[in-house]
Structure 1
């Protein structure tokens, strides 16, 4: 059984992502581990010689009480979607979010991470900013990223971007495994620029190797890589876009001002980020 880590702050963004996490758990026959982290403030105990421990105890208790109040709401969502049979467990951890995600991945033997983000500016902070951006750069298991605008719908088409590197094949096989479980198609995109060094022979070998799989390959000649990917999402009706994180700079380029408006209207689908060594 696959184990899915779902970090949550119980916000609207996280609650929307929770629906995706439930449905994904159903697809991969997995279980959910819900993680809520909080950071206690740093006090200088010379100023709190007597009630230092009391302050921390009260802060930890308030977090625990909030945790107890929010978990039943998530269980209700699962019941409403007839997914209450999916196994769920919970972790409440003090400390840095990324540190605790990595700790949970190791201790709980996690296979996937699912997190949420919001809006065009949310994507920027998500990939480049604090918690989730750091997570994508530092986590070596697949991570499904859910924007607030992405309401769950049946997965019929999964996009996969590649440069036809040998190490991309492992990620593609992971995506194909997910696609088969939901009867989805995979549409694989390579944007061939003037500087591309991928030979036609390499592309032909990939097409031959995956001939029996539910996959189509698209090679588009363009020096406008980011715009081409965004158009591909729109015109090929991609439900989830898979991106490989060996080139983090790609994400940085996505958030230049010229792309913000277009992203706000079109870039509202989940991204499955897969780390490539």
Structure 2
């Protein structure tokens, strides 16, 4: 795997630190540049509105100093934990919204992954319920995002990956590269499952599946059929909780396709994926 660049957003919470540990674990044998990022904004109160344009105000400086102090503490903790000499770390304290701050760094540093912790203790549903994580997944559509559920601990690397797809488009090599990088690095087994109409694939979907098979010729993969449950969410949950010991769930967002339908399901805000596996979202960026 080539040297990769990873943004680790943090709000200095336990869940954010858990995502940092996850990133250090999965890339422990890889040459990486890590950007530990904290963003902050002056609030919308009357006081802050008056001060918003004055970066030299006492309130701004207090928040900035706190951000930099907390980042320095995290950096020290990371350096004590990490032993790979090919890992570099840079802390970024940015006065902006979290989404804007991440987006600017992604472009400037040509970042390969954003790895962020979900909020709360109820697992993968917080990918959609936690406002910051949801906004990042929804708006950072030019860089792969991995959301790490609270308290998830990596044990033996990424041995199995589940790609859930509706076969809604013809796959191209560039969109699969983030998956292939991980699958090749960990010699992972890649499972592909279709969640959609049980009547079978249309000719267009069959063409999409064949294109996908051709692009995956260098990795160990298997097409797995599962019956569609009451919702797309439940169907994927069944697969994750099944006999395949899934370590990473992957979905590809291609506009008005599978991922958009998935996020429109109200149940996704109510149902927890009890397996608590990390969730990689890839958009059709170029």
* 249, 264, 270: which one aligns with 2:278: 270
Gaps of 5+ in 1: none
SS of 2:241's equivalent in the other structure is: helix
SS of 1:91's equivalent in the other structure is: strand
* Distance of 1:166 and 1:210 partners within structure 2: 13
Q: Does 1:255 align with 2:252?
A: no
* Distance of 2:70 and 2:64 partners within structure 1: 10
Structure 2 match to 1:67: 68
Structure 2 match to 1:31: 33
Q: Which moved more, 1:202-211 or 1:217-226?
A: 202-211
Structure 2 match to 1:17: 19
Q: Which moved more, 1:183-192 or 1:117-126?
A: 117-126
Q: Which moved more, 1:164-173 or 1:18-27?
A: 164-173
Q: Paired residues, what number?
A: 269
Q: Deviations over 1:40-84 (max 9, x none)?
A: 135768x989xx959823432443244224433443244334346
Structure 2 match to 1:233: 240
SS of 1:255's equivalent in the other structure is: helix
Q: Select the structure that is richer in helix.
A: 1
Provide the TM-score with structure 2 as the length reference: 0.80
Q: Deviations over 1:67-119 (max 9, x none)?
A: 22443344324433434651011111112111111122122222211111134
Please state how far the C-alpha of 1:213 moved relative to its aligned partner.
2.2
C-alpha contact 1:40 1:95 (8 A) present in aligned 2: no
* 176, 179, 195: which one aligns with 1:175: 179
Gaps of 5+ in 2: none
Structure 2 match to 1:242: 250
State the Cα RMSD in Å. Answer: 3.1
C-alpha contact 2:5 2:111 (8 A) present in aligned 1: yes
Structure 2 match to 1:166: 170
Q: Give the direction of change, closer, same or farther, for the CA distance of 1:166–1:54 in structure 2 (3 Å limit).
A: closer
SS of 1:87's equivalent in the other structure is: strand
* Distance of 1:69 and 1:255 partners within structure 2: 34
* Distance of 2:206 and 2:139 partners within structure 1: 34
SS of 1:248's equivalent in the other structure is: helix
Q: Deviations over 1:210-255 (max 9, x none)?
A: 3442111112242543222111112211001111223234134252
Q: Give the direction of change, closer, same or farther, for the CA distance of 1:184–1:5 in structure 2 (3 Å limit).
A: same
Structure 1 match to 2:224: 218
* Distance of 2:79 and 2:99 partners within structure 1: 26
* Distance of 2:252 and 2:211 partners within structure 1: 20
* Distance of 1:248 and 1:204 partners within structure 2: 23
Say which one has the larger Rg.
1
Where do 1:43-62 residues align within 5 Å? 56-62=57-63
Structure 2 match to 1:145: 147
